[in-house]
Amino acid sequence: MNRKEGDKKSRTATGKKTAAKKKVTKKKITKKKVSKKKVAKKKVAIKKGSKKRTVARKRAAVTVSDRERYEMIQRHAYFLAEARNFHPGHEQDDWHEAERFVDQMLNKG
């Protein structure tokens, strides 16, 4: 076949080539159904007739050595001095206040 003969067959009366038209179909998009999971509620047991009893608990006696007590007082006195920006002249007041605080804390516990 000639080139011209092949061209004649594909041309129409107006002389233009015709393109084969394709039908375009749109696909339907369906949403998938998602089932919701059911969450079981926790059952709470209710106690009936229970009364709160107050029991005085005895605290274990805390024994602190003299050295530990001294270090606790020293540390607290330092924090008191730090709170007043280490101004001189109140060192003994800080120490006595720290002794009272530590002794009160140890007697309470």
pLDDT digits (tens, 9 = 90+) for 46-97: 666 655 666 566 666 678 999 999 999 999 999 999 999 999 999 999 999 9
The dihedral region occupied by 50, where left means phi > 0, alpha psi between -120 and 50, and beta the remainder, is: beta
Give the whole-angstrom CA distance, residue 29 versus residue 100.
Answer: 81
Distance of CA 6 to the CA centre of its chain: 76
Q: Are 102 and 80 in contact (CB under 8 A)?
A: no
How many whole angstroms separate alpha carbon 91 and alpha carbon 102? 16
Please say if the pLDDT value at position 8 is more than 60: no
Kindly give, in sequence order, each residue whose CB lies less than 8 Å from that of residue 64, ignoring residues fewer than 6 positions away.
72, 106
Query: What pTM value is reported for the model?
Result: 0.45
pLDDT of residue 47: 64
